[in-house]
Amino acid sequence: AEADLHFLQGINQLVGHGWPYSPKEAGEPGWRMYAASALNAHNPWSFVMPDLARYLQRVSFALRQGKPANDVALFLPTDDVWSTFSARIDPTSPLISQSQAGLNTPISNFSIDESLGNSPVSSAIQQVLDAGYNVDLIDAEAIDVVGIPYAALILPAVERLPLATYQKIKEYAQHGGIVIAAHSLPSMAPGLLEAETDGRRIREISQYLFRANDTGGHFISDETQLGASLATYLTPDLVFSPRAPRIGFVHRKLALGDLYFIANTSNQSHHVQATFRHPAKHAEWWDPFTGGVSPVENPASVEFDLQPYESRLILLTDSATQIKKAQPTARSRTKIIDLTTDWEVAFNGRNQTIPMAKLHSWGEDPAFKYYSGQGSYLKAFDLSSEDLTPGTNGLLDFGRATPIEEPTPLPQHSMKAYLEVPVREAAEVWVNGERAGFLWHPPYTIDVTRLLRAGENNLRIIVGNTAINSLAGRALPTYRLLHQRYGERFVPQDMVNLEALPSGILGGLRLDLDRVVTVP
């Protein structure tokens, strides 16, 4: 979920952070660095990391192909932000000494990122994205270097900008570019001297662009209507029906067509119809989880489902694809085999095996409440030859993921998926000695058709939880000596009031046998 948010922001290479060194004699959970994700063997679910990394690799690779296809540029009001800077007292960040500042209390650095985040830019970005566009951020320096290679340029409540930049914006509008000013019109030039010499010309250009007719400029006094107004001047790139603000997309222009990365950032399932500005003759899904490719039945009207936090890649192209369209099929349920009872669970970290009459969190057993590690679930079941007639598919279903209430507003830097899932936290499934796949995201199902056989079938499901349970069952490290020497420079993240979490396979597990036939 967090990685997809990075992808939607335009990032196309992720760096693992990190793998802290820990000697064997340190035991579990080992040494840690306060800022690291600890994606190593001390993390009980690390065995699915290769599968997770392949997903990240595929999406990163796809988003490096071609060039960004962003229609809209948002002008950063850098000069407006600089004009509002003032000293802030921040005793936790003594980056300027008391003697330098002439103050009894140290002051902090200034952050233009924080100031821009509190400016109209943030709400403008959200409106543009919700209206169905990708957006780039540019400033005066970027315009000086590369111009304005976009269909539309938005000035979000900009008051100050350099005269040379505004003249280039005027030329852009004269050559057919769409310029939108929201809330207010530019009226000043930055700088003490320039405010006097260039301010009048700034106001003249504003009057020309936004008060005259047919000049390519549009003024929107109510900035909350920016997204809706933009859609009247420029057809949206991609629109979902019904409207789904929590589904984002990234558009890349390739030599063979248009590639879209689509991600559901919410904890709800969605069924949507996607309308593209430029539909193509052909389309195909690229599955970032498996690497598989499948054709889209109707490229002119693409309907699909998205699981909570699921993502997809779709390629639109006018070139004939090598993927043959699948024949329509009909599916009928022939048998459901309940696999909820009569398991044995071997806890790898304790060399101990226990019977489990019915699947539940192993943390409900006091002996394993604070166990962090892996549990191997073992079970055998029988199938008849009649169960496996040609055309029968077998699907292991661990149950649905259930949304939990999200806080309002969402934390700005939230890394949590607000979802109750049937497997805590990840699993590797083996059927009859062969790996069937991994489970770490919805839907919590896995196709085992090719591995089933008549007679006895053996299931082995390796589940890893998190290290939180082990940490919750012991006293946390003390940093007393560090604090005495250096002061309290940091607070360990999310380490207050730790509680053991549910672990393992939490509920019902079944094998669904379906008969699949081709519809003539």
Query: What is the per-residue burial (b if ≥16 Cβ within 10 Å, else e) of 389-420?
Result: eeebbbebbbbbbeeeeeeeeeeeeeeebbbe
The stretch 343-357 carries a mean pLDDT of 94
Name the pLDDT band for 112 (thresholds 50, 70, 90): low
Please report the pLDDT score of residue 96 as a whole number.
45
pLDDT higher than 80, residue 412 = no
Whether the predicted pLDDT of 100 surpasses 90:
no
> What is the band of 162 on the pLDDT scale with cuts at 50, 70, 90?
very high
Residue 391 scores a pLDDT above 80: yes
Residue 115's pLDDT band (cuts 50, 70, 90): low
In a domain, 506, yes or no: yes
The residue-averaged pLDDT of 504-508 equals 94
Helices 163-174, 199-211: inter-axial angle, 10-degree rounding? 20
Of 206, 231, 256, which residue sits at a domain end? 231
Query: By residue range, what is the domain housing residue 205?
Result: 70-231
Q: For residue 372, is pLDDT > 90?
A: yes
Band the pLDDT of 435: cuts 50, 70, 90: very high
Given pLDDT bands bounded at 50, 70 and 90, which one contains residue 86?
Answer: low
| 457 assigned to some structural domain | yes
Q: Which of 197-201, 448-452, 513-517 has the lowest mean pLDDT?
A: 513-517
What are the CA-CA distances from residue 369 to residues 29, 141, 308, 340, 473 (Å)?
Answer: 16, 58, 29, 21, 8
Of 222, 181, 232, 176, the C-alpha closest to 205 is 181
108 versus 285: the higher-pLDDT residue is 285
Residues 142 and 265 in one domain: no
Judge whether residue 165 has pLDDT over 90.
Answer: yes
Residues 166 and 91 in one domain: yes
User: Cα dihedral angle (305, 307, 309, 311), rounded to 10 degrees?
Assistant: -40
Predicted TM-score (pTM) of the model is: 0.90
Question: Between residues 399 and 321, which one has the greater pLDDT?
Answer: 399
pLDDT of res. 104:
47
Whether residue 381 sits in one domain with residue 260: no
Q: What is the pLDDT of residue 492?
A: 76
Q: Which residues of 471-484 are buried (b: 16+ CB within 10 A; e: fewer)?
A: bbeeeeeeeeeeee
Structure tokens at 386: 């009649």
- Of the pLDDT bands very low, low, confident and very high (cuts 50, 70, 90), residue 98 is very low
**The residue to which tokens 């689509």 are assigned:** 262
Q: How far is CA 88 from CA 30, 91, 488, 501, in A?
A: 40, 10, 21, 41
Q: Give yes or no for residue 366 having a pLDDT over 60.
A: yes
Q: Name the domain boundary from 231, 258, 290.
A: 231
Tell me, what CATH number does 144's domain have? 3.40.50
Q: Is there a single domain that holds both residue 252 and residue 346?
A: no
pLDDT category at 91 given cuts 50, 70, 90 is low
367 with 287, same domain? no
Q: How much is the average pLDDT of 162-187?
A: 96
Domain contains 12? no
Rounded to a whole number of angstroms, the CA Rg of the chain reads 28
Q: Is residue 335 scored above 90 in pLDDT?
A: yes
pLDDT at 88: 57
Give the residue from 297, 326, 355 where a domain finishes: 326
Co-location of 294 and 342 in the same domain: no
Q: Does residue 447 belong to any structural domain of this protein?
A: yes
Mean pLDDT estimate for the chain: 90
Contact 418, 266 (CB under 8 A): no
| E strand or H helix at 468 | helix 468-472
Whether 315 and 179 share a structural domain: no
Q: Are residues 162 and 180 in the same domain?
A: yes
DSSP 225: G
18 lies in some domain:
no
The model's pLDDT over 472-491, given as tens digits with 9 standing for 90+, comes to 998 887 888 988 999 888 77
Same domain, 407 and 381: yes
pLDDT at 312 over 60: yes
Predicted local distance difference test score (pLDDT) of residue 504: 98
What's 286's domain CATH number? 2.60.40.1180
- Please state the rounded mean pLDDT for residues 289-293: 95
Give the mean pLDDT of 13-36.
Answer: 83
Inside any domain, residue 126: yes
For residues 192 and 87, the model is more confident at 192
Query: What local confidence, expressed as pLDDT, does residue 327 receive?
Result: 67
Task: Give the percent of the chain with pLDDT over 90.
Answer: 71
Local confidence band at 103 (pLDDT 50, 70, 90 cut-offs) = very low
Q: What is the pLDDT of residue 31?
A: 83
Pick from 97-111, 155-169, 307-321, 347-361: least confident: 97-111
Total domains in the fold of the chain: 3
CATH number, position 486? 2.60.120.260
Residue 405 lies in a domain: yes
* Count of alpha carbons within 13 angstroms of residue 30, beta-carbon side: 19
45 within some domain = no
The whole-number average pLDDT for the span 36-41 is 79
Residues 283 and 221 reside in one and the same domain: no
pLDDT above 50: residue 385: yes
Residues 274, 352, single domain; the answer is: no
Tell me the three state secondary structure of residue 376: strand
Q: What is the pLDDT of residue 167?
A: 98
283, 301: one domain:
yes
What's the pLDDT at 224?
93
